[in-house]
Amino acid sequence: MNVMQQIRLSQLSHGGGCGCKLAPSVLQQLLAGHSTASRYKQLLVGVETGDDAGVWELDNGTCVIATTDFFMPMVDDPHDFGRIAATNSLSDIYAMGGTPIMALAILGMPVDKIAPQTVRKILEGGASVCDAAGIPVAGGHSIDSPEPIYGLAVIGTGSKSAIRRNSDARTGDKLILTKALGVGIYSAAFKKGALSRDAYDEFMASTTLLNRVGTELAKDAAVHAMTDVTGFGLLGHALEMARGAGKTITIKAAGLPLLGEAAALAQKGFVTGASGRNWDSYDTSVALSAGVPQWQRQLLCDPQTSGGLLVACARDHADALLGTIVAAGYPAARIIGEVTDGKPRIVIEA
């Protein structure tokens, strides 16, 4: 067999999926003092609150939404890798309440290690997800790189009234999470050959489920804020929401939706390095109940590749919105917490 065909994609990278992201504390240092809002009046969303995409308002009231996302493989099947990466890239548009219209591919491959047909399968996997979302891959850019990288730059549109930031949660809001946690745990187990076939199928079903429900949720005035849960884990992205709104967010650990084998694998030590980096970045902004065990904390910090949406909505609409989300094809969706007055932080109750 050709040496190129024997190489596992997941072994060519030092980290996989959104676990490759810089730690939240490092990113804060890099962006400290960087602001664009005051210089460009039409830029509705920039870097100030660590939101999911940039938003530019056109003269006719329509907004252009732009994002980019790419990472290294967390699975070995090239088509699966392409599908996961593309789904993750599209998520930021949906999280802002927009509709994607076009994508550009971002590709970096060690050409001396990966066969051209393997790279083609990665691109085909990504294109298949874009087809499902109803958009073309209209071009892109490629380089020869020491580790395999793939993702998309995505352009979307939305009305100004439908744009949902991560910073507009209100006192009394309930929080809904649309997908189960544990993707990073599963990827760590996969890399060590400890993930069952059923768990792999569950992993693929979650990471390739488009967050398109965000576009519909943004049409509802009861939905105040949205973000997607990716590399910083549930705690990191919830903390961005809390800091942006200047509120305290309380999450009930016992009510979190988990992938079927996530708890068992976490207790066996299958965690990513990003989980620890995430926790170290939260500093004193997270208060953990004494009843929350270490393995559960790992799940709270677990980097989610192509994770679910975190939705802040009016309390009296939460149950109805949850029903709408579940009916739209997100059976793991749960109400997981609430927003209260208080200093910006996360409180985790057992």
Rounded CA-CA distance 245/341 in Å is: 10
CB atoms within 10 A of CB 152: 30
Cβ contact 185:302 at 8 Å: yes
Q: What is the pLDDT of residues 266-279, one digit of tens each?
A: 999 999 888 998 89
All structural domains of the chain, each given as residue ranges with its CATH number in brackets, are 3-162 (3.30.1330.10), 174-349 (3.90.650.10)
For residue 92, the Cα-to-chain-centroid distance in whole angstroms is 8
pLDDT at position 259 over 90:
yes
- Catalytic amino acids? 18
Beta strands in 184-256 (DSSP E): 223-228, 248-252
pLDDT at position 36 over 70:
no
pLDDT at position 318 over 90:
yes
Q: What is the pLDDT of residues 175-195, one digit of tens each?
A: 999 999 999 999 999 989 999
Relative to beta strand 345-349, strand 286-288 is parallel
The torsion angles phi and psi of 105, rounded to 5 degrees, stand at -80, 145
